[in-house]
Amino acid sequence: MEFDFSKVATPDRYKLMGSSITPRPIAWVTTISGEGLRNAAPYSFFNMMGAEPPLVALGMMRRADGTHKDSAANILETGEFVVNLVSETDSAAMNFTCIDGPPDFDELTAADLQTFPSSVIGAPRIASAPVAMECRLYQSIEAGKTTIALGEVLRFHIDDAFIDPERLHVDTLAMNLVARVHGAGWYARTTDLFQMTRPTFEQWQGEQQDA
């Protein structure tokens, strides 16, 4: 079935794309406003975009009235944010921070989440997150009713339990990260995995000659 997205309503586009482009990693974003108000909210329109410079991307939709949500407003105002990754043990707290609270509602306090101060930016990081990335806004793009924020990672925090500091080997599976999948409220665990070795052209040529 083919859909002409120029003729498909926005909620239906969201449904089709969000139910198909999965699993999506979750950025549990913490920010602080210019007035010092803290905010935490999860976003699954998120991923790594490069290592030189080290960039992550967030896609943040606007409210129905066209205004920026708190995360986007704070990022645009201060140029700073933290991306915390979500373990399964934090999933209920993460889900709570989806709440549609007003700008002066502190989701971190309401969810009883402990925070640590960041090293180089004002926004706090979530203490229980296995990974937290302090980011500076590299570029923002206003695309219709979506604000895309590219963040340059300035500091990368990872729980000592999940890394070999000499080899920089990360025990990804032990972090028990969760991801967003289809529909309202559905999540996935990263437990059912398989591995494939990336081929080389030289290897492929040899296989063709041996065939």
CA 54 to centroid of chain Cα atoms: 14
Average pLDDT of the segment spanning 72-85: 98
What's the confidence (pLDDT) of residue 109? 96
Q: Is the N-terminal amide bond of 103 cis, ω within 30° of 0? A: no
User: If pLDDT is split at 50, 70 and 90, which confidence band does 191 have?
Assistant: confident
CA gap 101, 111 in Å, rounded: 12
Domain that includes residue 143, residue range: 5-210
CA gap 135, 81 in Å, rounded: 5
What's the confidence (pLDDT) of residue 183? 82
Residue 183: what residue type?
A: G
What's the confidence (pLDDT) of residue 209? 84
Q: Find the CATH number of the domain harbouring 57.
A: 2.30.110.10
As given in the structure block, the two tokens for residue 24 are 């999506």
With contact defined as beta carbons under 8 Å apart, do 131 and 157 qualify? yes
Query: Per-residue pLDDT tens for 112-133?
Result: 999 999 999 999 999 999 999 9
What's the confidence (pLDDT) of residue 125? 98
Q: How many domains does the chain have?
A: 1
What's the confidence (pLDDT) of residue 31? 98
User: At 134, is the secondary structure helix, strand, or coil?
Assistant: strand
As given in the structure block, the two tokens for residue 66 are 């066209």
What's the confidence (pLDDT) of residue 210? 80
